[in-house]
Amino acid sequence: MGNSNSSTVNHRFTSACRAFTQKKLEDLKSLFVSLASQSQSNDSYVSYPVFQANFGLSGSLGERMFDMVTQHRKDGKLTYEDLVIAKATYEKGTDDEIAEFIYQTLDVNANGVLTRSDLELVLVVVFKSVFSTTDSSTSDYKEMVDALLNAASFSKSTGDDKGMSFEDFRSWCSHVPTVRKFLGSLLTPPSPARPGYQVPHLLYEDTVDSNILLLKKEYAWHIGGALPHHELEEWKLLYHSSLHGQSFNTFLGHTSNTGMSASVLVIKDREGCVYGGYASQPWERHSDFYGDMKSFLFQLNPEASIFRPTGANTNIQWCATNFTSENIPNGIGFGGKINHFGLFISSSFDQGQTFSCTTFGSPSLSKTSRIQPEVIECWGIVQASNELDTQHNAIKGTVLERFKEDRNMLKLVGMASNSNE
Q: Is residue 141 part of a domain?
A: yes
Q: Which is nearest to 197 in space by CA: 122, 129, 106?
A: 129
Q: Which is nearest to 172 in space by CA: 150, 155, 152?
A: 152
Identify the pLDDT of residue 9.
65
> Could you give the CA distance from residue 79 to residue 264 in angstroms, rounded to a whole number?
46
> Could you give the CA distance from residue 19 to residue 24 in angstroms, rounded to a whole number?
10
Structure confidence by residue, pLDDT tens digits, 134-147: 444 556 789 999 99
Q: Is residue 314 part of a domain?
A: yes
> Could you give the CA distance from residue 360 to residue 349 in angstroms, rounded to a whole number?
23
The angle at the Cα of 350, spanning 347 to 355, to the nearest 5 degrees, equals: 85
> Could you give the CA distance from residue 417 to residue 421 in angstroms, rounded to a whole number?
10
Q: Are residues 128 and 226 in the same domain?
A: no
Q: Are residues 69 and 140 in the same domain?
A: no
Q: Are residues 133 and 69 in the same domain?
A: no
> Could you give the CA distance from residue 247 to residue 346 in angstroms, rounded to a whole number?
10
Q: How far is CA 92 from CA 18, 107, 212, 379, in A?
A: 10, 22, 45, 37
Q: Are residues 150 and 256 in the same domain?
A: no
Q: Is residue 7 part of a domain?
A: no
45-74 mean pLDDT: 92
Classify 26 as helix, strand or coil: helix
Q: Are residues 52 and 152 in the same domain?
A: no
**Rg from Cα positions in the chain:** 25
Q: Are residues 126 and 190 in the same domain?
A: yes
Identify the pLDDT of residue 109.
78
Q: Are residues 244 and 310 in the same domain?
A: yes
Q: What is the DSSP letter of 169?
A: H
Least confident of 8-12, 39-43, 253-257: 8-12
Q: Are residues 190 and 332 in the same domain?
A: no
Q: How far is CA 155 from CA 64, 213, 254, 257, in A?
A: 23, 36, 46, 48
Q: Is residue 163 part of a domain?
A: yes
Q: By the 8 A CB rule, do 32 and 54 touch?
A: no
Q: Are residues 260 and 376 in the same domain?
A: yes
> Could you give the CA distance from residue 39 to residue 221 in angstroms, rounded to a whole number?
35
Percent of the chain having pLDDT more than 90? 76
More confident: 351 or 117: 351
Structure confidence by residue, pLDDT tens digits, 82-95: 999 999 999 999 99
The angle at the Cα of 206, spanning 203 to 212, to the nearest 5 degrees, equals: 75
pLDDT at 3 over 80: no
Q: Which of 197, 229, 256 is the last residue of a domain?
A: 197
Q: How far is CA 184 from CA 66, 105, 169, 377, in A?
A: 15, 11, 14, 32
Q: Are residues 244 and 355 in the same domain?
A: yes
Q: Is residue 105 part of a domain?
A: no
176-203 residues labelled b (16+ CB within 10 A) or e (exposed)? bbbbbbbbbbbbeeeeeebbbbbbbebe
Number of domains in the chain: 3
Classify 3 as helix, strand or coil: coil
Q: Which of 134, 168, 197 is the last residue of a domain?
A: 197
Q: Which is nearest to 218 in space by CA: 194, 242, 200, 204?
A: 200
CATH code of 77's domain: 1.10.238
Name the phi and psi angles at 398, rounded to 5. -110, 175
Q: Is residue 281 part of a domain?
A: yes
Q: Are residues 118 and 179 in the same domain?
A: yes
Q: By the 8 A CB rule, do 115 and 164 touch?
A: yes
More confident: 410 or 61: 61
Q: Is residue 415 part of a domain?
A: no
List, in sequence order, every residue forming a beta bridge with 279; answer none if it has no partner. 263
Q: How far is CA 256 from CA 60, 85, 125, in A?
A: 48, 52, 40
Q: How far is CA 101 from CA 91, 107, 114, in A?
A: 10, 10, 13
pTM: 0.86
pLDDT at 413 over 60: no
* Residue range of the domain that includes 226: 216-385
Structure confidence by residue, pLDDT tens digits, 273-305: 999 999 999 999 999 999 999 999 999 999 999
Q: Is residue 232 part of a domain?
A: yes
Q: Are residues 171 and 67 in the same domain?
A: no
